[in-house]
Amino acid sequence: LQSNLDGQNYQDFYIVDLMTGEKKTLFSNFYLPGYSSYPRGSSDGTKLIYGYDGNYYSYDIATGEETNLTGSLPVSFVDVEDDHNVKKPLHGSLGWSSDSQYVLLNDGWDIWQVPVTAKGKAVNLTQNGKSDQIRYQYRFSLDPEEKGINLSKPLYIRTYGEWTKKSGIARINTSKKGLEPGAEFLIWEDASIGSLRKAENAEVYFFSKETFNTPTQIFSADASLSSPTKVTENAPNVEDYAWSAGTRLVDYVSDKGAKLQGALFLPANYVEGEKYPTVVYYYEKLSQTRHNWSNPGYSGTGWSPSVYTSNGFAVFIPDIVYTMDDPGMSAVWCVIPGVKAAIETGVIDPDNIGIHGHSWGGYQTSFLITQTDMFKAAAAGAPLTNMISMYDLIYWNSGGGNMSIFEASQGRFTGAPWENWESYERNSPVYHVKNVNTPLLLLHNDKDGAVDFTQGIEYYSALRRLKKPVIMVQYKGENHGLGKLENRKDYSVRMMEFFDHHLKGAEAPDWMSTGIDKIDLDEHLEKRAF
């Protein structure tokens, strides 16, 4: 109950002798700041590793001895970039070595080999992560039957450039005596690299590669991953379509001094020096998607960046970081400076900028248009609009309450509304609705099990009461996103028509300009289906 109320996770843990059934308490009311903190058994079953109070600890099950593994190391394993209401969340553990003598830990940049006994010292296996702003993110498990990490074999690690958005695969040879610590970069490209696997009985490796305008393909190679051979031909007719002409990274600083980036996707057939209508899209941090392939289909939210770039729009995706008790204002402090920096590239037409988000992004869209007239049009899908009334509603998809969403998850509030009324009110779009001048396309489905339908109704009704420019779209029986293909298509096309009208000056279709009478709705939908 308490975890569902405030999201703070406390659990009891016991050690049970499977031969006798004897049970002893390991932890009582143990605070878990994240998944990485959970106790995990060693390969031989004699020890545990777990995390609390900003450190990792090992525990000898036979003796009951606990050892702080990280307290004396010259680096912190606390995820200081986690901006949720969680105390000292830890970066992830990669797991135990197969001989149960070491654990591999990630400090957010580098990977450390840490002994769990008094013998030996911790070694930074990768060395240059923090200095070169490269994240050694996780290890590829190449043997599905492995029992722990075999340090006598090379480790293959996924790498990511924090400010370049490059990615790749690095190899660490921990078994070679006298070898200086460090990673050998096998692949390092302006692309999204991942999914490394190995054939069961041969030294043949497979990995995936994609870019914003090249669909995901699978490549094979030897252990060095050099001279890879493409073995798939996904989307063979990809050349028949117009794709983004390229991407750019936009560096900017938030109004609170945070160093951030955004990914700017150029429209197809981009001409240097011309300015283009632009749709801004976001969801917390998404600049890392710069090299992600986007299937230009009909998504459950109506959004596909490829569809917009192929139709002459630029797309800008800025990052947002959060200040506690100000989730809405955090978007203002991050998105507006990001858009201003993107305008300086000369790509964006500052008079024709739209904004779109869904769910949490829908909330921030609904809030941003109460704080600025920068955007000529906005589309918000399934938005939270009243943080106070939403707090006490039910998350129908699970049956639980919404409280923990606000106190320990995306809401990022410290306490409930009655303890923090001003913050909840300050960050609720519905309480600033009189400031809205931006035309809004609002989607909210009647069976939304994540953000209650009443949230959309509150905002829509308030906007209508003030005679603000708003259109609300509802697909009966649909949940938080659109499931039926015909509904996905319908909403995707309507949103494109909405932005075409407001950002390109296209004539408004009848459903926007005059509306469709209920008696004519079935015929209207049938015609649009084709």
How far apart, in whole angstroms, are the C-alpha atoms of residue 492 and residue 485? 10
368 DSSP β-pair partners: none
Provide the phi-psi class of 350: left if phi over 0, else alpha when psi is between -120 and 50, else beta: alpha
Mean pLDDT of 349-364: 98
141-146: Cβ within 8 A, 24+ apart = 142/196, 142/197, 142/198, 142/205, 143/198, 146/98
- Mean pLDDT for the chain? 94
Mean pLDDT of 206-230: 96
Mean pLDDT of 250-272: 97
Residue 530: count other Cβ atoms within 10 Å of its Cβ.
4
pLDDT over 90 percentage in the chain: 86
Residue 149: count other Cβ atoms within 10 Å of its Cβ.
22
Mean pLDDT of 56-67: 94
pTM for this model (two decimals) = 0.94
Domain layout of the chain by residue ranges: 1-103, 125-236, 241-528
113-118: Cβ within 8 A, 24+ apart = 113/151, 113/174, 114/56, 114/69, 114/70, 114/73, 116/42, 116/47, 116/49, 116/58, 116/67, 116/69
How far is residue 26 CA from its own chain's centroid? 34
pLDDT, position 117: 80
Residue 102: pLDDT over 70: yes
Question: Would you identify the CATH topology of the domain 241-528?
Answer: Rossmann fold (3.40.50)
107-135 per-position pLDDT tens digit: 999 999 999 986 779 999 999 999 999 99
Q: Are strands 214-221 and 205-211 parallel, antiparallel or unpaired?
A: antiparallel
